[in-house]
Homo-oligomer: A and B are copies of this chain.
């Protein structure tokens, strides 16, 4: 628990969240969103469910997340096709209402910490039929036989993911699915889009701040799908999935009418696009970054476009159906922040 009582890292004081958020960097009350408080989980992200709690800008919430299979894959002999039932997958905690949020605002989510919970083997990875980057899928429909349903149960702790006798990976957790509600639609928890959703972006991790567009009163924040580690492009469609206690601090940037999710770290700013084909995710992300540089950092449009060709950074996130996710970033040092 030491992590959460740590002093706020220095850079946060200069973040957009601190500078423009309603809470002005002050930390409010801490709320516990336990399994009991949550009750049933959500498999669609929209405006039609009852909020589990209402918090104020600056408040901190400790969220007991489930893994994306809701713990149903218990052993390596379980078959995903038998224990999972579509579309009841990727359970989300929330929705959390943020006081004062309205359409046209942005919600800031600073992930303070993530710690695994539950007994080992806490981690799960598997191959799900017709799902993943290197297989025919529901959309990239082929007549090939599906891949086998391989399941891996993996020990992990706050330091390492013990993948195999041969390979140990560092524990570098992130939140796979983070969203505010769309205005009138309700989107399944597998799809990323303007509302956030299943972005599977490794940069949505402890220490970083994600900004999401608010579309409804209270914004209605959903969160789940935590990964113990993940590559660039979640190529088989499944990371090392695990249950966590994820501690976030939320704030509200009034009148910051962003179209797509944005992200901020100590070193860079990022815009996140989700679409198919993958080049459209890339186009969205880079175009949003051009727009941002022009509007808030004083760049001329064509200068920003050409400059990003020289120093832009692209991060691959979700690489499974139904939409892919890419983040485009630039160093703060290059934009005068």
8 A Cβ contacts from A298-324 to B: 301-303, 305-314, 316, 319, 324
- Given A312-B233, A313-B231: A134 in contact with B305 (beta carbons within 8 A): yes
Residues of B within 8 A of A188 (CB): 184-185
28 chain-A/chain-B pairs, Cβ below 8 angstroms: A44-B186, A46-B46, A126-B306, A134-B305, A136-B136, A141-B286, A142-B144, A143-B147, A143-B301, A144-B146, A148-B302, A163-B310, A167-B334, A185-B188, A186-B186, A230-B309, A231-B308, A231-B309, A232-B312, A232-B313, A236-B305, A236-B309, A239-B309, A239-B310, A276-B276, A277-B279, A279-B319, A279-B324
Tell me, in angstroms, the Cα distance from A20 to B163 when the chains sit together.
31
Tell me, in angstroms, the Cα distance from A64 to B83 when the chains sit together.
45
- Given A186-B184, A230-B309: A140 in contact with B46 (beta carbons within 8 A): no
Are the CB atoms of A235 and B147 closer together than 8 Å? no
Which 6 A-B pairs have CB atoms at the shortest separation, nearest pair first?
A277-B277, A231-B312, A144-B144, A278-B278, A141-B287, A186-B186
In the complex, whether A282 has a CB less than 8 A from a CB of chain B is yes
- Given A279-B278, A286-B134: A310 in contact with B141 (beta carbons within 8 A): no
Residues of B within 8 A of A282 (CB): 133, 233, 235, 278, 316, 319
8 A Cβ contacts from A212-236 to B: 229-236
Tell me, in angstroms, the Cα distance from A309 to B310 when the chains sit together.
28
Kindly supply a per-residue 1/0 record for chain A positions 66-94, scoring 1 wherever the CB is within 8 Å of any chain B CB and 0 otherwise: 00000000000000000000010000000
Kindly supply a per-residue 1/0 record for chain A positions 162-180, scoring 1 wherever the CB is within 8 Å of any chain B CB and 0 otherwise: 0110110100000000000
Are the CB atoms of A134 and B142 closer together than 8 Å? yes
With a 10 A CB-CB cut-off, give which of A87, A139, A275, A283 has the most chain B CB atoms. Answer: A283
Residue among B152, B169, B284, B288 making CB contact with A139, cutoff 8 Å: B284
- Which residue of the partner chain B has the closest CB to A312? B231
Rounded to whole Å, the gap between the CB of A191 and the closest CB of chain B is: 9
Are the CB atoms of B161 and A310 closer together than 8 Å? yes
Tally of this chain's copies: 4
With a 10 A CB-CB cut-off, give which of A169, A230, A286 has the most chain B CB atoms. Answer: A286
- For A, the interface residue count at a CB cutoff of 8 angstroms equals 82
- Which residue of the partner chain B has the closest CB to A324? B279
- Given A188-B185, A240-B310, A308-B235: A147 in contact with B284 (beta carbons within 8 A): no
- Given A231-B310, A236-B308, A309-B230: A302 in contact with B147 (beta carbons within 8 A): yes
In the complex, whether A145 has a CB less than 8 A from a CB of chain B is yes
- Given A283-B133, A287-B142: A235 in contact with B312 (beta carbons within 8 A): yes
- Given A147-B144, A185-B87, A277-B277: A238 in contact with B134 (beta carbons within 8 A): no
Rounded to whole Å, the gap between the CB of A81 and the closest CB of chain B is: 15
Rounded to whole Å, the gap between the CB of A337 and the closest CB of chain B is: 12
- Given A309-B231, A309-B239: A139 in contact with B275 (beta carbons within 8 A): yes
Tell me, in angstroms, the Cα distance from A152 to B310 when the chains sit together.
12
8 A Cβ contacts from A37-57 to B: 43-44, 46, 48
